[in-house]
Amino acid sequence: MSETPPGDKPEIRYVNLYEAEAKIYTRRISGYFQRLRRYLSAPLIALFVLLPWLSYHGRPVVWLDIQHQQFNILHFSFWPQDFMLLAWLFIIAAFALFTVSALWGRVWCGFTCPQTVWTLLYIAVADAFEGDRNKRMKLDQQAWSFEKFARKAAKHLVWLLIALLTGLTFVGYFVPSPQLVMGLLPHLDAAGNMTTSLGWGPVFWVLLCSGMTYLNAGYLREQVCKYMCPYSRFQSVMYDKDTIYVQYDTARGETRGPRKPNDDFKAKGLGDCIDCSWCVQVCPVNIDIRDGTQFECINCGLCVDACDQVMDKMGYPKGLIRFTSETELSTGKLQVFRPRLIGYALAVLIMLGAFGYTVSERKPVSIDVLRDRGARMYRVDGDDIQNVYTLKINNMDQQDHTYDIAVKADEGDATEFRILHGHSVKVKTGEVLSVPLRVAVQAAALKGAKHEVEFVVTAQDNAAIVANEESIFVGPEHE
Ligand code: SF4
Ligand code: SF4
């Protein structure tokens, strides 16, 4: 808001950077892109709600088990040691977003982002109880009455129910949903205090997530996209002149202006835009796409649907506002495949392949061998030369295992190495156990100062669960 302080010179203007956002009343619209969003978002919402209820071999299909620091998906379990895999997954997701953004602009924001999907769901609820744009505006300006109270109360009740369901579902990814729902039922403990069998922690998280949903989708809406979401800024950086995104065909639309149905508008110097402002009224971020590309635009296509309806009514061809590229607008030709896009797509495919291979080859056990680097490189005990090692065995399986530890010389070397004092250990699921080991060899059998040795760890109950690691055995220098 600009204002001139009283008594100040009229040309000095102060700009309030904390101006309150005006409430946006979007007009209800139907059309191809609105339907497309429903077809895309309905299965995604269903998947989000159902996943925490599904189990696989007696365990939730997706379970972020924070208590045991374990991320379970299907039969895979990932531990903090698998952080690199998670980092790779984020990098692949970022590159996939770059690829889609370079091709279609911010379609992720407009069609599948939870913020947009939930916001449109909340707007649909408001629309159902308070009516379309004009009715909602009128209702807000009216004095309080029973009808106004009833409509608002019904809207907020449904908003709260959606928020609660969202909060419960989200926390269900961390605490299995059946357990969560039963565990949240309050009861009196032995001392007569109100409690739940899961304690108050999950209650807090469910309420927090529900509150955030209600606040984000009910009130903050487009402000999250404009001021909070980091993706909104860097997705726009991916645009080039061949990116296909929502644009107004200025050459065709201008000069804009109203006209009567049978007017020869071209003779009056008018373009196809009748200046009805429908494209602005349906916009969830309240911008006028006719002013050109703006960072607020989430590429949702609602203005395309609105303008197409207007064009239909006027008997003009559709597509005055459409998904198109700058190249297409200036030359009439759409160019999709280009080096940058192909580069992004190839990078995603290669990374996905490498990630899939790493996950499929991932063993449920890994070992690290650390040689004792003390002052003495080796010990002499009778006829034996001994080296000391620490073996770190990482059990990444979903159950405890007892592992046999073996050591052998490198291929082609007949030297017989032995582990002294026992060579099997029990490691709990998710545990990284450090095992001190003493390896011995007959001094006479050693042919040189350094021998390559290989440690092999095998689960007693499943020979396929095996890991190996090479190290060095050091003996005395021979004359
Ligand atoms: S300008 Fe059009 S595409 Fe962009 S946010 Fe508004 S309605 Fe959606
Ligand atoms: S909806 Fe189409 S005709 Fe109406 S103002 Fe927007 S661009 Fe012009």
Q: Tens digit of pLDDT for each residue in 384-424?
A: 889 999 999 998 887 899 999 999 887 777 778 889 887 89
- Nearest-5° Cα angle at 242, 240 to 246: 90
The answer to whether 450 and 354 are in contact (CB under 8 A) is: no
Mutate to test the pocket of ligand 1, among 123, 277, 289 (most ligand atoms within 8 A of CB): 289
DSSP classification of residue 445? G
pLDDT of residue 186: 75
Residue 15 backbone dihedrals phi, psi, to 5 degrees:
-110, 125
Domain regions of the chain by residue span: 25-362, 365-474
Q: Which CATH number is 365-474's, of 3.40.50.620, 3.40.50.1820, 2.60.40.10, 3.40.630.40?
A: 2.60.40.10
- Listed range (158-172, 311-325, 371-385) with the worst mean pLDDT: 371-385
Q: Determine if ligand 2 sits within 6 Å of the CB of residue 290.
A: yes
Round to whole Å and give the CA distance between 222 and 110. Answer: 11
Structure tokens at 449: 């100062």
Using a 10 angstrom Cβ sphere, with 0-12 exposed, 13-18 middle and 19 or more buried, the burial of residue 152 is middle
pLDDT digits (tens, 9 = 90+) for 443-477: 888 877 888 899 999 999 999 899 999 999 888 87
How far does the centroid of ligand 2 lie from the alpha carbon of residue 311, in Å? Answer: 8
Best residue among 224, 282, 302, 322 to mutate for probing ligand 1's pocket (most ligand atoms within 8 Å of CB) is 302
Please state the length of the chain.
479
Integer Cα distance of 195 and 186 in angstroms: 5
Beta bridge partners of 365: 395
288 Cα: distance to centroid of ligand 1 (angstroms):
8
pLDDT in tens, 245-257: 999 999 999 999 9
Give the model's pLDDT for residue 71: 86
In DSSP notation, 242-296 reads T--EEEE-HHHHPSP----TT--TTTTT--S-----HHHHT-TT---GGG---TT
Confidence grade of residue 194 (pLDDT, cut at 50, 70, 90): confident
Residues 6+ apart with CB under 8 A from 389: 369, 370, 371, 372, 436, 437, 438, 439, 455, 471
| Beta carbons within 10 angstroms of residue 267's beta carbon | 7
Ligand 1 binding pocket, CB closer than 6 Å: 246, 282-285, 287, 289, 297-303
What's the pLDDT at 226?
Answer: 85
Q: What's the mean per-residue pLDDT of the chain?
A: 88
Which ligand does the CA of 274 lie closest to?
Answer: 2
**Closest alpha carbon to 279 in 255, 246, 243:** 246
Q: What is the pLDDT of residues 357-366, one digit of tens each?
A: 988 888 889 8
Q: Is the dihedral of CA 127, 318, 252, 246 positive or negative?
A: positive
Count of other CB atoms within 10 angstroms of residue 456: 15
pLDDT score recorded for residue 360: 84
User: What single letter denotes the amino acid at residue 37?
Assistant: R
Distance separating the N- and C-terminal Cα atoms of the chain: 90
154 C-beta neighbours (distance < 10 Å), count: 14
Instruction: Inform me whether the pLDDT recorded for 376 exceeds 80.
Output: no
Give me the sheet containing 450-459, strands edge to edge.
424-427, 401-409, 450-459, 462-474
Is the separation of the CB atoms in 323 and 246 below 8 Å? yes
- Could you read off the pLDDT of 134-160 as tens digits, one per residue? 999 999 999 999 999 999 999 999 999
331-351 CB burial, b ≥16 within 10 A, e <16: eeeeeeeeeebeebbebbeeb
Environment class of residue 413 by beta-carbon count within 10 Å: exposed (0-12), middle (13-18) or buried (19+)? middle
In the block, tokens 């620091």 appear at 69
